Structures are given as C-alpha cells and as structure tokens.
Structure 1
Amino acid sequence: MSLAAEATESTRPAGTVRWTVVLAVVLTAVLEVLDSTIVNVALPHMKATFGITNDQTIWILTSYIVASVVVMPLTGFFARRFGRRRLITVAIVGFAVFSALCGLSWSVEVIVLCRLGQGIFGAFLIPLSQSILFDSFPREKRGQAMALFGLGVIVAPVLGPTLGAILTEYFSWRAVFYVNLPIAAFALFMMSGELRRGETRKVSIDWTGLGLMVAMIGALQLVLDQGETRDWFSSPLIQVAAIISAVSGVLFVARGWGLSTNIIDFSLFRDRSFAAANFAMMGFGLAMFGTIAVLPLFVQGLLGYPVLDAGYLFMPRGIAAGFSMVITGSVLVRRFDPRMLVAMGLLLTGTGNIALGWLNLNAGFWDLAIPGVVSGLGMGLFFVPMSTLAFQNVGPDRQDEASGIYGVTRSIGSSIGIAIIGWQVASRTQFHWSVLSSHLTAFNPNVWRYLQPLGLDPTTAEGAGQLAAQLSAQAAMLAFQDAFTLTGWAAFAMLPVVLIMQRPTKIAAAPAH
C-alpha cells in the first residue's frame, strides 16, 4: 500500500464505509457465483463443439464445483499465511486467467482442467469478499453489508441463466467465460490502494487433517454430482466414493474436534447461532438451488420455451430478490427481530416453490414468473438476516475461516439440492408413467374421446404414438410438480432451526458519515 493510501486509512473516521472496496468485493463475489450457473445454458453448445457425451459434459460443471468446495474451507489458513489482500488479488487474477483459458479451450480435456483452475482460485472469492465487507461496515450497519453481499451471491446465480442465454444466443458459448475478464479487471482496479495490508504469520499445515478433509468433501461432491447419472448406489464408483466420504469424514471430525492445529477450527460450531445458520443454509440450498437448477429443464424441455424466453423467466425472480435484500438490509433488519425475518423468508420461499407445483402443461410466462417473485422476496428476507445471525459472535480474527465454512455449507447444500431434485424428477417420472400407462388401453372410453377429435384410432401406430407422447408429457409434469412441492417443504422444514439461534443484542445507531 502506498504512503498516501496508508495516511488516508489512518485518518479515515471510525465507521466510515469504504465504498470502492465494497463495490470491488461485491463484483468479486459475482465473479464466482455467476460462473456456477451461467455455464449451464451453454452446455449443449459445448457438447456440439467438442462432440462429447452427456457424462463428459457434466464434468465441465462438476470439475469447477469439486475444486471450489474442496479448497474453500482453507480460506482462513491461506489468509493467515499470506494476508487477505495478497490472497484475494492472486485469486482474482488466477480466476480471470483460467476464465480466458476456458474460452480458448480446444478440447473437453482442456476445458475440464481449466475449470478446475477456476474452481481453485474462485473458492477464495466468496469467503474473502464476505470478510472484507464485514470489516468495511460498522457493526450496526452489517445488515447493509449482507444485503450488498447477497446481491452478488444470491441474485447473480438467479440471473446467470438469463445472461448465459443472451451471450450464447447472440455471440458464442465462449463469451460466458470472457465476460469474467472485464469484471475481474474492474474489481482489481477499484481495490488497488484501498484494501489494508493484513498481517501474515507462519502457520503449520496439518497435512493429515487436510488429506482427510479433501477426501471427505471431494468424494461427497462426486457422489452428489454423478449419483443420478450412474444410478446411485448400483454404481461401484458411487459406492466407493460414499464409503471414502463417510470414513474420512468421521476420522476428520473425531481427530480434529479438540485439536488446536486442525485445518478447520471446529470450536466455531460451539456457537449455536453459527451452527444453526450453517444447517439452515444447507436446507435452504435444497429449496432455492434445487428449484433454480430444475426450472430450465422444466420450461425448455417440457413446456418448449425458447432459450431466451427461458432465460428471461429468471429476471422477475432476480429483481424481487435484489429488492428484498436492499429493503431488508437497510430497513427491516434494524427494526425487527432477524429471526422473524428469516422465518418469513422461509415461508415465502416455500410458498413460491409449492405454487410452481400447482402448474400444468398450459402454464404461461407469468404463471411461472409470479411464484418466482414470491420466492425471490423470500430469498432476500432469509439471506440477509441469516448471515447477520450466523456471524454475530464471530470475532474479526476468525472471520475468514468462518466465512469459508459458511461458503462450503452453502455450496454443499446447493449440490445436495440439485442432486435430490434431479433424482426426484427422474424417479417420479418413471413412477407416474407406470401409473398412467396402466389406464391407457383400447378399452378405455376416455382414450377414444381424446383421439376422436384428432381423427386417430388407439389401435393404429399414429394413435398409439400420440398417446405415448401425451403420456410422457403428463408423467413428466407430475414429476416436476412433486419436485417443486418437495423444495417448498424443504424450506418449511428449516423453520424450527430459527428457534435455536440467539437474538442479536441491540446496537445504537451510529452517526451518519
């Protein structure tokens, strides 16, 4: 940091918000989470470019997620070892470099390796951004900090499919990676000279704990990402991965619970608010990310929406979530018990998701968008006060590590949600197909009534084909209804967790600056 910057830092009044840093770290958070959903829309185009199978296409997604989830808990360790400013600068540059390499990739092997690099460097961005935001705001304004952070972490993945659809439709799938470059450059520019140089210290590495943690999280993520594709536990790979994850997880916790040098500080979970918030965030991941992941498949694959229309469908949800976060962070969180706001957020999220389960094959744009708006409002009411409650007892010296753990919980929760909802759609489609098909016979008068206006006969190939197509569509519709209903009840199931959390102590409002 320059002498001028240091002088400015030393004379800055206490409680002053450094908005250049705030903007930089919010953009940094956007970098990481946007990449988790913006790529989804472009996958069919990548598949065509590289001539690859569905399994190989999935690895483009999973390589990023696995690398990110494995490295994210190490944020506190690396921040202590190298300093927060140096770490976030290297992370932004590394993420941008690997983003450019992803866009230049000429084979699936290259893009998977580059996605691993993106995940490794991107893993630090969310926890560090959250920690820096907490330091940039005085305690009485932390609701505002979490609202700004939520705009990046929650709204960006919601709008990711929309941006991905636009870039893919009008440019190329490679543009979904190149869009990261100007965002990274602007974030670095805004951050330069403003971010304080943190103290560094020699930290010993617990290699045994690190190995156990990597095995636990990596194997779990493999099970979640590949389980549905490989028919879950009928696959030897999934069986082995599940055993590795379970055994290494038990050993990691048993060995490290009272170990001061463990790679993860388990004493953070002695704070009931932090522990409950992590559990609730995991359940909310199923409710939110499970729905967001399956919606494009629903509206494009079943309802036949074009790519752009499917992308635009996420805009009302994203706008509602952003509005809710700003109002919650700037007004509501200071006037109401944050636990009440979290409960209201869960109720709205669950209600919006269940409303999606009431739709049919004739659903129009606003039939789909309005439940999304309700869920979006719930997202803002949940995320901002939940983050405030989670970190209310966490000191500045443990902020980076706590943020890393919180980020991993959110990522694993989203992976669990996506895996469960994907499995739910597939299995329930088969179930409903079996039930419905048992009623479709040439002796059923309703079958004749359905085909008669079309001039078809159920005993002919054309008539049987029409029945089969309608049967498949109805079975899939019922399966999606079941999946959306499940995500709604998952949100409701987190309501009792709110009772475990401590109510924050009242803080007198600080004078405006």
Structure 2
Amino acid sequence: MLERYGYKNLVAAVYIAALFMQIMDGTIINVALPTLAEEFNVDATAMDWTVLSFTIALAVMTASAGWFGKRLGLRRAFMIALGGFVVTSLLCGLAQSLNQLVIGRALQGASAGLITPVGSALLFNAFPIEERSIASRKVITVAVIAPALGPIAGGTILEFASWRWIFFVNLPIGGVALLLAWLWLRTDDLDEPTSFDTSGFFLLAGGLGLTLYGLSRGGERGWGSTPIVLSLLVGLVLLAALVIVELRKRQPLLQLRLLTERNFRWFNLVSLPVYAGFISLIYLLPLFLQNEVGYSPLQVGLALFPQPLGVLVTSQLVGRFLYKRLGPRRLMLTGAAIAFAVGVATARIDTNVNLWFVRVLMFGRGLGMGLFFVPIQSAVYARTDRQSMGQATAIYGTTRQVAPALGVAIASTVLANGIAGSTITADRVSGYQTAMLASALMFAVAGLLTLRLRDKDAAATMAP
C-alpha cells in the first residue's frame, strides 16, 4: 500500500519527523533556561553549559557521522541516533541536578549530531539528483516551522506542566519516527569494515570542542583572558594537526579530500558567511530590543516571527519553480543583496523603533534567506557520489555548526568593543548599530564568494 507514495517520500517523512523533534528541542530549552536555573538553585549563567555541552557534542559527532554511516550503514546509524536521542531525552527529563542535566544534554547532542548528516545522506540518496530542490524544499519547510513553534510549545509546557516535559515531549515524537524508520527505510549495503580512526576522533573532539568553547565564551569572558586564548590556540593547533593526520590516512574519520572537488568546496565556503550572518543578527536584535528599548521577550519573539514566514515563502517558490530555471548562483546573489540591504537598514534602528518596522524588516530578511537555503541544500552535493554522501554531509554539517559560533563571536566582539561598559544610551545604541552592520557585511562576503560558483557544476540538479 505504501508503495504508491514512493520510497523517496517515505524517507523524507521519517527524516522530517526526526529533524522536527531535534530542532524543536533546541528552541524549547532556550525558553526554559531561567526556570531550570531556579529549579536547580544555580546562577542563570551556569545554565549556559546545558546549551554549550549539547553544541560541542553535536559538532563533534556531526563531523564523525560519515564514518558511522559507512561502518554501520545509513539505516542502522540513523536508527541508533534516533533511539539514542529518545533515551537521552528521557535521562534529561529525569535529571535531579545541573551536572546530571549537562551530562544528559551532552549525550543528547551526540545523538543529534548523527541525525542530521546521516538523515540528509538517506534523503539525498533516495531522491534523484534532478529532484534535489524538491527534497530541499521539504526539509526547509520543517526547519523553518519547528523553531517558530518551539518557543510557543516551551512556554505552554512551562505554563501548564512540569519543566521535565520539555524533554519528555520528545518521547512520543521520537518513538513514532523510530517505528517508521524501522518499517520504511531500506537496509543499505555496507562497505568493507574499517577500523575506527581514534587519533582523528580525539584531534577532532579536542580541536572542535576547544575552538567552539573559545568562540562561544570569548565575548563574555574577554578575548584576552587566559582561558579563552588557550582554548582557541590549542583548539586551532589540534585542528591543524587533524588536517595533516587525516590527509595521510587511507581511511580517515573525516574525508577532507572531498573538498578538492570545486563545487563542494565553494558551497561550503559560501555557507560560512551565510549562516554566520543569519545567526549573528538573531543573536543581536533580541538583545537590543529587550535591553535597550525595553520590549518584553514575548513582544520580541512576535517581532521576529515574520522572518521564518519569509523563508517559507521564497523556499517554496525556489523549490517549485525558480531553482531549475535560474540556477543557484543568481538566486544566491539576489539573496545576498536582499539580506545585506535589510541588514544595513536594521543597523540604523534606534530606541524609537516601532515593532511593525522590525516585523517588515524580518519578513524581508526571510525572503532573502530563502534564496540561499534551498539552492545551497540542492547544489552542495551535486557532484558527490552515493558512496561518499555520508562523508560529504558530515563535512557540510560541520561547516553549518562552526558558522553560527563564528558569527556570534564576531558580533559579540564588535558589540563589546562598541559599548565597552558604557551607560550612556546613545553610545550603547551606536555599539549595537555597529555590531548589526558587521552582521550585514557577512552577506557582502557571501555575495563575493557566490561569484565563484558555477551553475554548470550543479547542472544535474537543475535538469527538468
């Protein structure tokens, strides 16, 4: 009976269910941090470790996902990751102390780190290459809706139930997704067994973990502070050693040689400023509107809500009509121009800003971002063969994990230098405006890098 839906659509349904759960989890917990701090009787800043432990574990396992996909098979690796996410969500919900919650979140992040790259490999292997834009449109839709619903769901849970349900809510969703994966996903052929690249994994874990820690905490603790300098220095040295070690191995944990293919390399490079710019303004604007203008979190959340609506509009248009007609390069150049223009306009707002003006800006920004997301997802793997898909999704997933941390680090540094502890409103507003301008300039960089893309490299994804 299910054959009429097509195997590719069944894979999409399973992946979307898992992705929805994972993204919702991330946005729900952000709303719950003050409540959790009160529950465990700790300072609010200590709760950052529940986010940081998840983020670091997520990044490390995302980069390692290619090996697990090849060693276990994509179907088995995906189901293990999905099951692990459900179990660790239960552990987080049962936590009796902050330390237990941080450990549970790290384990949850490790499971989540496999879901996206392995699920992406399953998805793009199931869809013919000329239908990649259709697959991307399906994924972008849930990737936009889930974060918009997360704060609403989190607020509702905290209002009417125990905080533990922000984690327990994953159990039914994950359970259904796991059952569907077991029923619908086909067993894939395993490659020859390979030994685990232990040295590569520890270099990756240490390098990526320390670098992400330094980038995430540099603005708060000061870039010149000893812990930040040491974490960044040691982290970058370990990452440099990782590149040298992995390129010398016949079967490395991270197949960096995939970056020698022009299309894959340039789409990864373009993605860095795109996702850095996207997240950096999401970080800055709520701070400005709450701390300097005095709007409530709910008012700010509603002001930002039009952005995912804008993404949803253009991602549907691009996926259905525009991608195959225009190709990724022109769409992304247009997206860069729109995002840059909106960013410059946002950098001019002050304490007299009307939230309706912010909503218009956010909707326009969403329209521009939608011109990035579907083309990148559709074209990045255009010249990647099926056997390398797991490794390719791991590398691109790592890029997407590093980019937001880099964007927030740049924005927070510019902001810290701009306000420098000043209590004068005009000086603080100017500091925020400079930081938001820095965020906008990331899209100028993205536009320049997009000029290096060639539609002919992604021609297979544009076929009728």
Query: What are the within-5 Å matches in structure 2 for residues 267-306 of structure 1?
Result: 267-306=257-296
Structure 2 residue runs without a partner (length 5+): none
Query: 1:498 maps to which residue?
Result: 450
1:182 matched to which residue of 2? Answer: 172
Conserved in 2, the CA contact under 8 Å of 1:68 and 1:120?
Answer: yes
User: Whole-Å Cα distance in 1 between the matches of residues 198 and 432 of structure 2?
Assistant: 44
Distance 1:82 1:158, change over 3 A: same
Rg bigger for which structure?
A: 1
Tell me what 1:344 maps to: 334
**Could you say what secondary structure the match of 1:294 adopts?**
helix
Which amino acid is the alignment partner of residue 337 of structure 1?
G
Listed one character per residue, the Cα deviations across residues 297-319 of structure 1 (whole Å, up to 9, x for unaligned) are 22333332233222222321111
Q: 1:176-202 deviations in whole A, cap 9, x for unaligned?
A: 323323321232233332111112341
Residue 61 of structure 1, CA deviation: 0.9
Q: CA RMSD in A?
A: 2.3
Q: Does 2:175 correspond to 1:221? A: no
For the residues of structure 2 that align with 1:475 and 1:165, how far apart are their CA atoms? 34
Shift of 1:487: 1.0
Counterparts of residues 385-404 of structure 1 (less than 5 Å): 385-404=375-394
Match of 2:432 among 480, 488, 507: 480
Match of 1:426 in 2: 416
Mapped contact 1:257–1:267 kept (Cα < 8 A): yes
Cα distance in structure 1, aligned partners of 2:374 and 2:111: 25
Aligned mate of 1:245, from 231, 235, 238: 235
In structure 1, runs of 5+ residues without a counterpart are 434-467
2:194 equivalent to 1:203: yes
In structure 2, do the counterparts of structure 1 residues 152 and 300 end up closer, same or farther at CA, with 3 Å as the change threshold? same
Question: Who is 1:449 aligned against?
Answer: none
User: CA offsets, 1:358-402, max 9 Å, x none?
Assistant: 212122221111111111111111011112221111011111111
Matched with 1:230 is 221
Question: Is 2:382–2:460's contact at 8 Å kept on the other side of the alignment?
Answer: no
Change in CA separation of 1:217 and 1:141 when aligned onto 2, cut-off 3 Å = same
Q: State the Cα distance separating 1:43 from its structure 2 match.
A: 1.5
Residues 72, 408 of structure 1: 8 Å contact kept:
yes
Residue equivalent to 2:42: 52
| 1:170 shift after superposition | 5.0
For 1:364 and 1:370, how far apart are their aligned partners in 2? 10
Return the alpha-carbon distance in structure 1 between the equivalents of residues 280 and 462 of structure 2: 39
* Residue equivalent to 1:133: 123
Q: 2:327 touches 2:462 (CA, 8 Å); kept in 1?
A: no
Q: Secondary structure at the match of 2:220?
A: coil
SS in 1 for 2:365: helix
User: Which residue identity does 1:375 align to in structure 2?
Assistant: R
Change (3 A) 1:485 1:407: same
1:75-86 counterparts in 2 under 5 A?
A: 75-86=65-76
The answer (yes or no) to whether the contact 2:132–2:461 under 8 Å persists in 1 is no
Return the alpha-carbon distance in structure 2 between the equivalents of residues 293 and 194 of structure 1.
39
Q: For residue 131 of structure 2, what is the amino acid of its counterpart? A: K
Change (3 A) 1:18 1:298: same
Residue matched to 2:54: 64
Q: CA deviation at 1:341?
A: 0.6
**CA shift in 2, pair 1:426/1:306, >3 Å:** same
* In the alignment, structure 1 residue 360 sits paired with structure 2 residue 350: yes
Which residue of the partner structure matches residue 86 of structure 2? Answer: 96
**For residue 344 of structure 2, what is the amino acid of its counterpart?**
I
